Amino acid sequence: MATTLESLQLDALWMPFTANRAFKRAPRLLVSAKEMHYTTSDGRQVLDGVAGLWCVNAGHCREPIVAAIRAEAGQLDFAPGFQMGHPLAFELATRLAGILPGDLDHVFFTNSGSEAVDTALKIALAYHHANGEPERIRFVGRARGYHGVGFGGISVGGIENNRKQFGARLPAIDHLPDTHDLARNAFSCGQPTHGADRADALEAIIAERGAETIAAVIIEPVAGSTGVLIPPVGYLERLRAICDRHGILLIFDEVITGFGRLGSAFAATAFGVTPDIMTVAKGLTNGAVPMGAAIVRSAIHDTLIDRTPSGIELFHGYTYSGHPLAAAAGLGTLDVYEDEGLFARAAALAPYFAQAVHGLRGLPHVIDVRSLGLVAGIELEARPDRPGTRAFDVFLDCFEGGALIRTTGDTIALSPPLIISREQIDELVDAVTRGIQRVA
Ligand SMILES: Cc1ncc(COP(=O)(O)O)c(C=O)c1O
C-alpha cells in the first residue's frame, strides 16, 4: 500500500546524519525501487545516481537477490554464530576469498561498515599481541578519512564534526594529511599526478612515535564520504612500502570502493596494492540486508589462531555475524555481479562516464571534477558565509528534477549502480548541470 505523507507520523523517528527539523518540514520519502530508479511517495520516478548510499551496485530489487533472501527467510531465519554455524556463511566467505586479491582469505562478518572497521582495528591489536609485540597499540588514520561512527572509526577517521559532540575517543591516534591538492591536481581524470610524497608523513609519525608502537595504518584507498579523493599516482605503493619496512599493518577500508565501484572487484585490485586487512560492507549484499566484513591475510589469521592457547582465539563477534539472510543476500549479489560481468561493465563504461562528468567543467562555481571508474566528485566553490549549502541546494534541485545525487560539504558525489546505461549517465549529468546552473 502506498504510504502517503498526509497519514505518516514523522516525529518518533530520529533520523541518522539528517537535519531532522528541516527534513520533517519538507520530507522526501522513497517507497519502492527497481533497477536504476526509486519511486517517491508522490509517485515520481527518481534516477539513482548514488546507488542508494554507495551500496546498490547491481541495481535495485534484483530478482536473484530477492529470491535468495526470500528462500532463506523461509528456511533458516536465524542461527547463532557463536560455537555454531550455518552453511551459507561459510559458502559466502569462501566465495569472497575466491575474488579477493593475494592471500586475503579469512573473512570475519559484521553487520555494517562501522563494525567492520572496529573489528579490523581489534584484529590488528590482537595480531600484534599474539605475535609478541603487545606494545603496538597506536593507529594512524588520515585527515578527511571516514571509517563509520563507532568510537574506533571516529577516532581514526579525520572528520571533526563526527567527533566534537562526543569527547572520548581512542587515545593513541595520529593522522596523515589528506591527498587533496586542488592547486596542482584540479580536473584530474583518473589518478592525479601530484602528491605521492604525502605518504612520507608516515615516516615522520614513525620517527616521532617509534614504529614499535604502531599497530596499523587505516585509509580509504579512495576517500568517498569526504568528497571522492582519488589517491595520487604512487601514493598507495609508497604507504605499502613504508608499512612493510616497519612491520605496520595496512588496512584498506573498502566499504565504498569494494565490489566494482572502480571497475575492478576492489580498489586493491584496481591499484595493484594489497592491504593486510580489508573492510567491506555496502555492495557486499547490494545493500539489501545489512552486512560488513573484516578480511584478513592468511599470515595474520594463522598467527592469531595458532599462537593463541586452545579455546576462543578472538574475543569478538556480533549476534548477527554471518546472519543467514545477509549471507543469502551476499551470495545472490555475487551471482549477479559474476553472471552479468558488472565489474568489467563498470570498467568499460568508465571512459564514457568520465567524459560526461568532465563536461561539467566551466559551469558556474565548479572548481574541480575528479573521477575514476564509476565514481565522480564535482567540487563547487563554497558560499563564503554558508559552506555546504550550495551543493545541498543542487541536491534538492536534482531530487525535484528526478535524480538522486549525494553531497558532502560542497562536493557532489556521483556513484551510480554499475548497471547504468549511457543514456542514464547523460540524464544524470544533465540533471546536475541544470541544478548547478539554477543554484546561485
Ligand atoms: C569508507 C567507509 N567506511 C565505513 C563506513 C561505515 O559504514 P556503515 O554506515 O555501514 O557503518 C562507510 C559508510 O559510508 C564508509 O564509506
Query: Looking at residues 75-80, what average pLDDT do you find?
Result: 98
Q: Which atom of ligand 1 is nearest to the CA of 115?
A: 11
The CA–CA distances, whole Å, from 251 to 20, 95, 153, 292, 411 equal: 34, 21, 12, 15, 26
C-alpha angle with apex 169: 163 to 172, nearest 5 degrees?
Answer: 125
| Substitution candidate for ligand 1 out of 255, 279, 375, 408 with most atoms within 8 A of CB | 255
| DSSP summary character for residue 411 | E
Ramachandran bin of 254, using left for φ above 0, alpha for ψ from -120 to 50, beta for the remaining angles: alpha
Distance 146 CA to ligand 1 centre (A): 7
At 341-388, the pLDDT tens digits run 999 999 999 999 999 999 999 999 999 999 999 999 999 999 999 999
Q: How far apart are CA 66 and CA 290, in angstroms?
A: 14
Question: Whose Cα sits closest to atom 7 in ligand 1?
Answer: 113
pTM score, two decimals?
0.97
Partner residues linked to 33 by β-bridges = 38
Confidence class of residue 2 from pLDDT cuts 50, 70 and 90? low
At 118-137, the pLDDT tens digits run 999 999 999 999 999 999 99
Q: What is the reported pLDDT for 3?
A: 53
Q: What is the reported pLDDT for 418?
A: 98
Q: What is the reported pLDDT for 6?
A: 75
Is the pLDDT score of 60 beyond 60?
Answer: yes
Q: Which atom of ligand 1 is nearest to the CA of 54?
A: 14
At 400-420, the pLDDT tens digits run 999 999 999 999 999 999 999
At 240-266, the pLDDT tens digits run 999 999 999 999 999 999 999 999 999
In the block, which residue shows the cell 560481468? Answer: 341
Distance 179 CA to ligand 1 centre (A): 19
Antiparallel, parallel or unpaired: β 249-253 and 214-219: parallel
